Amino acid sequence: MPRSRAADKSKSTKAASQDALVILKDDMEEQFSNLYYHGWRNRSSEASLYPLYSLILTLSCLNTRHPNEPRISLMSSPQAFFGEVPPPGDEGRDPSDPSSREQTRQMVGQQRLLPSYQYPDFARLLIFAGIDDDDEKSPSDFGLEAYCDISEFLELKRLNCRDQWWSREAKTLAKDAVRQFISQVYDAAMAGFAYNPKWKTVYAILIVGVYFTQVCWESRPSEETLRPIIQTKVPVTVEEGAYGGLIAQVIREIKQYSNRAVPTVTFYNEPVFTYNPATPPRGAARPARMFLSSKFLNALSKPTTRFTQLSSRSTLFKSQPQEPKPNKSDMAEAGKLLQEVLIDEPTMGCQETARSLGHRFDGDPPLTPTPPNSTAEAGWKVSVPAKDVRKLPPLTIKTRAKLREMLFQEGEEGDEDADDGDDGEVQP
């Protein structure tokens, strides 16, 4: 096994005893580079990204500490659970079991409807284990009180492109994936708020391969906003009298979409890493060195600034004092994208459903006599062979043009049954 370059250079590691865990910047970046190329070579699978980002998040958490309270920890949680946890001591209930999950939802959802459970790929959580002042009333907890706040959660998505991840093609594909997966991020954030009443601010990072988008809910959404949106199911055949109820459900759904809490975008489709093609030289056995970009370092530090008493152990994850300024056109594009995906597009879909049921919104053209469930197109016509035309039943509906044609035809041919003194007046 090749020796570490840090050992070859005899860097100052003598101060570290066997009771301390020390990682040098060179070693850390080499690990990032190795896992980066592992993820790229297996880029058709999302799971290949987990080792890379698990290491980044774990080291970023271990690099922080509370100077006065050792019972406060910032830790990375894989497959974080945003849902209702059963009371302690209830051994017969598992929150991951579907039947138990439904029982829990019924128990806690008597006053309000709760969203579905969510499991984001990672979350950095601030965990505090303190002493409960009223320990006599909670003997099962042994006088301990656990409190958990969130720094941010992450959703990882694969970036399966033909070219290298730092190419223009890869960045374009990553931007398209933001539109595809931002609704999943929104659902996870709403579940986090709904099942954690003490959470006031939530950051989220959507990572597509090696590009990230960070959004933030700076304030807690209202209880009405946290209610899940139940989509209206329109049957193939609607019974008479059921249209009004279905339309009311769709209108209620439209109002819920319009009240959605659209987050603020802080970074949009930015690279996680900075690539240095000069290291190592061409033909070297090691992959090129990867550095965490300044924008991603700022994205990691931004949520933890709320925890003012946390401090850094080293400068490994130090962000720039002056925050990198995002591109204004990119931020405008990102804001428009979130508005379209979270509000405009689902609202338009609901409006079309309501119109198909016979509802009309302000500015819509008048309702046509076509039944709501009709599938006939505007240009659809019946084709009847000429030999069968005479077999058709007589025309029972006479349009104005047809009546006018009949009147002129009778006037030219003469009507033997008409009264001579009526001056051409047609008798009914």
- What pLDDT, in 10s, does the model give residues 260-277? 999 999 999 999 998 765
Q: Which of 83-92, 93-102, 159-168, 358-367 has the lowest mean pLDDT?
A: 93-102
* Tens digit of each residue's pLDDT (9 = 90 or more) over 215-261: 999 999 999 999 999 888 888 888 878 888 898 999 999 999 999 99
Check pLDDT > 50 for residue 137.
no
Torsion angle of the four alpha carbons 327, 43, 61, 19, in this order, in degrees rounded to the nearest 10 = -140
Nearest to 277 by CA among 267, 285, 287, 266: 287
- Residue 108's H or E segment, with its range, is helix 98-108
Task: Indicate the pTM of the whole model.
Answer: 0.74
**What is the distance between the alpha carbons of residues 273 and 295, in angstroms, rounded to a whole number?**
9
Q: How far apart are CA 256 and CA 227, in angstroms?
A: 9
Dihedral sign (CA 52, 53, 56, 57):
negative
Q: What is the pLDDT of residue 97?
A: 61
Q: How far apart are CA 339 and CA 201, in angstroms?
A: 20
Mean pLDDT of 159-164: 91
Per-domain residue ranges for the chain?
A: 19-83+118-221+264-324, 228-260+327-363
What's the rounded Cα separation, in Å, for the pair 141 and 133?
Answer: 12
Q: pLDDT tens digits for 190-225? A: 999 999 999 999 999 999 999 999 999 999 999 999
> Which pLDDT does position 8 carry in this prediction?
47
- Looking at residue 340, its pLDDT comes to 96
Q: Which range among 157-161, 266-270, 362-366, 372-376 shows the weakest confidence by mean pLDDT?
A: 372-376
Strand partners, 128: 72, 147
Provide the CA 288 distance to its chain's centre, in angstroms.
33
DSSP state of 82: B
Q: Which two tokens stand for residue 13?
A: 């590691």
pLDDT more than 70, % of the chain: 69
